[in-house]
Amino acid sequence: MPVSVRSILSIHKVSKPILVIKFGTASITLPSGEPDVHIISEVARQVSLLHPAYRIIIVSSGAVGAGKAYINDYKGTMTQRKAAASVGNPLLVGLYASYFAPNGIFIAQSLCERQHFANRNKFLQLKNTFEELWQNNIIPIVNENDVVSDRELKFSDNDELATLLAVGFGAETLMFCTSVGGLLDDAGNIIGNVSNVNEVFKFVRTDKSFLGLGGMASKLTFAKLATRMGIRVLIFGMKQPDELLKALEGKAGTEMNSEKSTLSARNRWLGSGGLVSGRLKVDEGATKALLKRKSLLAVGVKEVTGEFEAGEIIEIYSPDEEMIAVARARETSSAIKVNLKTVNFEVAHANDIVLL
């Protein structure tokens, strides 16, 4: 066992933190879309070394790429993507299982939808299932349930799914694997450490991989949420020897420093966004009140977007269009609109507001 891995194991002898690792389509597939068995074997080998020290979740893209060759005249329509995913998912999971098995590790498949995060009870059932898997030394392999997801319910990409899991479960570290090995500066060099995510969006290229839905902008967007929730974020590659292990030690890829967070488990789940039903834009006074952890009153609301019911999750934006919080609405969107000038009409209680 490498010395570096022994050091990781020694740190976590008492409690095993949660580690979420997301592998994008381009990072684990060949240009043809077929899974790259060499990369998947390396994923299994390196993750197996970390397995004794962490409760691990693997979020893996690549199902559509693995299955599209079996769909006649594939053009990438929504229905064809669903069909390709239904073929590719078992193929991909079978590969993971075959390479983890020699290390004595079993895996489980979990296909998630946004409703699993929007409803607190469903989310807790998901979490309890994962806890049972971990107690039996099983690693869950997670993907979006492409077969039934539609445009209203689907994740923007698996970067979002991985972030929702990391934030909701209270992960210590969230890792994004990419084909480029990290966030690159204008000269094409990997930026080793980022203290403020907002300052590095300027380095994002607008092109995406040949098969993936996301890109670096997606990773930075969700890294911003995760770091605000106290989660360390790493962007790394799999082209160099032991790159995953080295990234976890801060010796490869890009590390984004986490901010201090004291949120409860419930508020971490709420802060992950769940299934957002609407948004509010508030004035300067309401912004200041929210930052002082006060409740949101209707008199401070300037715009109401979307239709939502009491109890659903909404986003709250400042006058300069910065999302400053998410909250569970105390009133319906229609009730808020007709009470914008009503004194002491509470839109969201302080206990149901999570600042971002």
CATH number at residue 103: 3.40.1160.10
Q: For strand 323-328 and strand 296-297, is the pairing parallel, antiparallel, or unpaired?
A: unpaired
Structure-model confidence comparison of residues 195 and 280, the more confident one = 280
258 & 283 share domain: no
What is the predicted pLDDT for the residue at 25?
A: 83
User: Is the pLDDT assigned to residue 212 strictly greater than 60?
Assistant: no
Domain count, the chain: 2
Q: Does residue 270 form part of some domain?
A: no
Residue 281, domain CATH:
2.30.130.10
Instruction: Please name which of 92, 78, 80, 82 lies closest in space to residue 28, comparing C-alpha atoms.
Output: 92
- The winner for highest mean pLDDT among 2-11, 24-33, 148-157 is 24-33
Instruction: Please name which of 267, 296, 294 lies closest in space to residue 281, comparing C-alpha atoms.
Output: 296
Q: Residue 280 CA to chain centroid, in angstroms?
A: 24
Q: Give the residue numbers spanning the domain of 301.
A: 275-355
253 & 283 share domain: no
pLDDT single digits (tens) 165-177 = 898 888 999 999 9
CA atoms within 13 A on the CB side of 330: 15
User: pLDDT class for 206, splitting at 50, 70, 90?
Assistant: low
Among candidate residues 265, 299, 315, the one where a domain is terminated: 265
pLDDT single digits (tens) 286-336 = 999 998 889 999 999 999 988 887 877 788 898 988 878 888 888 999 999
Q: For strand 193-194 and strand 254-256, is the pairing parallel, antiparallel, or unpaired?
A: parallel
Model pTM above 0.85: no
User: Is the pLDDT assigned to residue 29 strictly greater than 70?
Assistant: yes
24 & 167 share domain: yes
What is the predicted pLDDT for the residue at 209?
A: 41
Q: Does residue 140 form part of some domain?
A: yes
Question: Does residue 175 sit in helix, strand or coil?
Answer: strand
What is the predicted pLDDT for the residue at 152?
A: 41
Q: For strand 346-348 and strand 106-112, is the pairing parallel, antiparallel, or unpaired?
A: unpaired
What is the predicted pLDDT for the residue at 336?
A: 94
User: pLDDT class for 353, splitting at 50, 70, 90?
Assistant: confident
Q: What percent of the chain has pLDDT over 70?
A: 81
80 & 192 share domain: yes
Instruction: Please name which of 58, 48, 42 lies closest in space to residue 1, comparing C-alpha atoms.
Output: 48
Structure-model confidence comparison of residues 149 and 86, the more confident one = 86
What is the predicted pLDDT for the residue at 276?
A: 65
27 & 46 share domain: yes
Cα(182)–Cα(192) distance, rounded to whole angstroms?
8
Q: Does residue 17 form part of some domain?
A: yes
Q: Does residue 163 form part of some domain?
A: yes
240 & 290 share domain: no
Comparing 9-18, 75-84, 285-294, which segment has the lowest mean pLDDT?
A: 9-18
Structure-model confidence comparison of residues 27 and 273, the more confident one = 27
- pLDDT average, residue stretch 190-197: 80
Comparing 65-69, 156-160, 278-282, 283-287, which segment has the lowest mean pLDDT?
A: 156-160
What is the predicted pLDDT for the residue at 13?
A: 47
Residues 6 or more apart whose Cβ sits within 8 Å of residue 326: 270, 271, 273, 276, 313, 314, 315, 316, 353, 354, 356
| Average confidence score pLDDT of the chain | 82
Structure-model confidence comparison of residues 205 and 86, the more confident one = 86
Angle at 274 between CA 269 and CA 275, to 5 degrees: 165
- pLDDT average, residue stretch 78-105: 90
- pLDDT average, residue stretch 144-163: 63
**What does the block give as tokens for 298?**
């209707």
User: Is the pLDDT assigned to residue 131 strictly greater than 80?
Assistant: yes
Structure-model confidence comparison of residues 144 and 173, the more confident one = 173
280 & 256 share domain: no
pLDDT single digits (tens) 36-80 = 999 999 999 999 999 999 999 999 988 888 888 899 999 888 888
151 & 251 share domain: yes
List the alpha helices (DSSP H) in 120-239.
120-135, 158-169, 216-228
**What does the block give as tokens for 117?**
């995060």
250 & 310 share domain: no
Cα(184)–Cα(191) distance, rounded to whole angstroms?
6
66 & 191 share domain: yes
Among candidate residues 265, 298, 328, the one where a domain is terminated: 265
94 phi-psi bin (left φ>0, alpha ψ -120 to 50, beta other): alpha
With tokens 């890109």, the residue in question is: 215
Among candidate residues 236, 265, 294, the one where a domain is terminated: 265
221 & 284 share domain: no
Q: Residue 234 CA to chain centroid, in angstroms?
A: 12
178 & 287 share domain: no
Instruction: Please name which of 300, 302, 306 lies closest in space to residue 343, comparing C-alpha atoms.
Output: 300
Rg value, the chain, Cα = 21
